Amino acid sequence: MFGYYFQLALRSFKRNKVLTALMILAIALGIGASMTTLTVFYILSGDPMPGRSHTLFYPQMDPQGKDGYVAGEEPAEQVTRFDAEALLREKKGDRQALMTGGGISIEPEKQGLSPFVVDARYTSADFFAMFDAPFDHGNGWTAKEDDAQARVAVISKKLNDKLFDGGNSVGKSIRIDQHEFRVIGVLKEWRPTPRFYDMNSDRYGELEQAFLPFSTAVNLKMGRNGSMDCWGDSNGDETGVNAPCVWMQYWVQLDSPEKVDAYRQYLVNYSDQQRRSGRFERPTNVRLRNVMEWLDYKRVVPNDVRLQTWLAFGFLLVCLINTVGLLLAKFMRRSSEIGVRRALGASKGAIFTQALVEAGTIGLAGGVLGLGLALLGLWAVRQQPASYAELAHLNPVMLLTTFGLAILASVLAGLLPAWRACQVTPAIQLKSQ
């Protein structure tokens, strides 16, 4: 029966080409605009660690002085080096990693390649296992190498391709900031979006190309980047272990709700202990957010993207209202045909279903054209200077959503016209013939 109604819809399109074209164009414009903005929103608001984000937590505490204190305000978004190293040392989570960003100079041995600078991440051994970083060759370092300040490095596929032509570089040397490091791992293509583990740098840019032990980077006084907030006298060394500055990120893996509760209490106890020792001056104020809670807190989706998404769906609604009017005109023009079908025994339900199938077919055609407009819109987004622009591509989920939304929208738009069509009285239509 559905196939028969579909054939009737195609015949109807041929009889009313202009009206059908207007409806398809209206739906296509609305779908094109809404799917362009929805795709960008979907990319920016997605889970960067599917299946694991609920076990990864970002602790916060308030180590700052009394100056400027406001009761109830959020604690610092980063931690001091003292606190990061203390939490790492006490190992109260299933895994834990301290980290910060940096910039390093690479002096390649490859002929014809000049020295260059890349972004790096100084971190601890659990980083790779916590964040499920995929390896092409080798693996990460161990806690023993952290303690020994070992000169080892994990590099990205991009850097490996540049320095070693994509071969297995594990065991080879790489010169970083005039120091020899041994490559122990090469990552596959890996780009959690957004870069949730450090929201103080470019959230949607490429990941760092080199990963080094934090203890080694500190020992060699390697350059760092990212935000820093100090509130006391650091004696000229803001990155020192006792400096009153927050500039490091700290993540912990907790595999059960009971461990989450225990770790939150541990943070309270730790904060109380530090206040008794005189390090913390403010009342205990801790937070423990998982990945998605942290992204919500940081409002990771730009406000302009949210606004554009709402405006696009508003435009789609306007297009659907116009489609409702056009469908009413189309179906009412066929009142005599509908009356004859009713007189020959067609039920109201059959007329209603036929009308909805026709509306859905219009939506399918509008979806095809809307897909082209969405691809054009995403191309335009990629030309923008925003850091997330290059990520604006239609993935399979959004592709299916395009057609699903187009058909759903057209069927909803067809409900009122279909209901009006099935109310046509056969007797009146036959008398008028």
pLDDT digits (tens, 9 = 90+) for 58-73: 999 999 988 888 888 9
* Stretch among 88-92, 159-163, 419-423 having the lowest mean pLDDT: 419-423
The last residue of one of the domains, among 232, 258, 285, is: 285
What confidence score (pLDDT) does residue 302 get?
77
Q: Give domain status of residue 186, yes or no.
A: yes
Residues 150 and 280 in one domain: yes
Residues 71 and 12 in one domain: no
Confirm if 407 and 367 have CB atoms less than 8 A apart.
yes
Task: Count other Cβ atoms within 10 Å, centred on residue 114.
Answer: 8
* Stretch among 35-49, 81-95, 345-359, 362-376 having the lowest mean pLDDT: 345-359
pLDDT digits (tens, 9 = 90+) for 217-255: 999 999 998 889 998 777 778 888 999 999 999 999 999
What is the Cα–Cα distance from 396 to 134, expressed in whole angstroms? 23
Q: Examine the pLDDT at 2 and tell me if it is beyond 60.
A: no
Q: Examine the pLDDT at 14 and tell me if it is beyond 70.
A: no
* CB neighbour class for 2 (10 Å; exposed up to 12, middle 13-18, buried from 19): exposed
Residues 42 and 76 in one domain: no
Domains in the chain: how many in total?
Answer: 2
Q: Give domain status of residue 192, yes or no.
A: yes
Residues 172 and 263 in one domain: yes
Residues 22 and 167 in one domain: no
Q: Give domain status of residue 296, yes or no.
A: no
pLDDT band at 417 (very low <50, low <70, confident <90, very high): confident
Q: What is the mean pLDDT of residues 140-147?
A: 96
What confidence score (pLDDT) does residue 150 get?
96
Residues 273 and 317 in one domain: no
What confidence score (pLDDT) does residue 202 get?
74
Residues 279 and 333 in one domain: no
Q: Give domain status of residue 294, yes or no.
A: no
Q: Examine the pLDDT at 431 and tell me if it is beyond 50.
A: no
What is the Cα–Cα distance from 320 to 322, expressed in whole angstroms? 5
Residues 83 and 119 in one domain: yes
What confidence score (pLDDT) does residue 237 get?
83
Q: Give domain status of residue 56, yes or no.
A: no
Q: What is the mean pLDDT of residues 385-402?
A: 83
| Amino acid in the structure at residue 104 | I
Q: Examine the pLDDT at 10 and tell me if it is beyond 70.
A: no
pLDDT digits (tens, 9 = 90+) for 305-326: 888 889 998 998 998 888 888 8
173 or 300, greater pLDDT: 173
CA-based nearest residue to 254, from 89, 81, 91: 91
What is the Cα–Cα distance from 251 to 57, expressed in whole angstroms? 6
The last residue of one of the domains, among 285, 317, 334, is: 285
Which tokens is 292 given? 């998605």
| Amino acid in the structure at residue 173 | S
Q: What share of the chain is helix, strand, coil (3-state, %, to 5)?
A: 50, 15, 35
Q: Give domain status of residue 295, yes or no.
A: no
Q: Examine the pLDDT at 142 and tell me if it is beyond 80.
A: yes
Task: Count other Cβ atoms within 10 Å, centred on residue 129.
Answer: 14
Q: Examine the pLDDT at 423 and tell me if it is beyond 50.
A: yes
CA contacts within 13 A on the Cβ side of 257: 0
Q: Examine the pLDDT at 138 and tell me if it is beyond 70.
A: yes
Q: Examine the pLDDT at 189 and tell me if it is beyond 50.
A: yes
Average confidence score pLDDT of the chain = 87
Range of the domain at 28: 2-47+301-431
Confirm if 232 and 142 have CB atoms less than 8 A apart.
no
Q: Give domain status of residue 52, yes or no.
A: no
Chain centroid to Cα 132, Å, comes to 17
Q: Examine the pLDDT at 122 and tell me if it is beyond 80.
A: yes
301 or 125, greater pLDDT: 125
Q: What is the mean pLDDT of residues 170-184?
A: 95
Residues 39 and 70 in one domain: no
Could you tell me the sign of the dihedral formed by the alpha carbons of 61, 229, 56, 90, in that order?
negative
Q: Give domain status of residue 290, yes or no.
A: no
What confidence score (pLDDT) does residue 429 get?
45
49 or 237, greater pLDDT: 49
Residues 215 and 348 in one domain: no
pLDDT band at 151 (very low <50, low <70, confident <90, very high): very high
Q: Examine the pLDDT at 140 and tell me if it is beyond 70.
A: yes
pTM value surpassing 0.75: yes
The last residue of one of the domains, among 258, 285, 312, is: 285
According to DSSP, residue 239 is labeled T
With the CA atoms of 215, 219, 221 and 227 taken in that order, what torsion angle do they form, in degrees rounded to the nearest 10? Answer: 30
What confidence score (pLDDT) does residue 22 get?
85
Residues 171 and 211 in one domain: yes
Residues 216 and 71 in one domain: yes
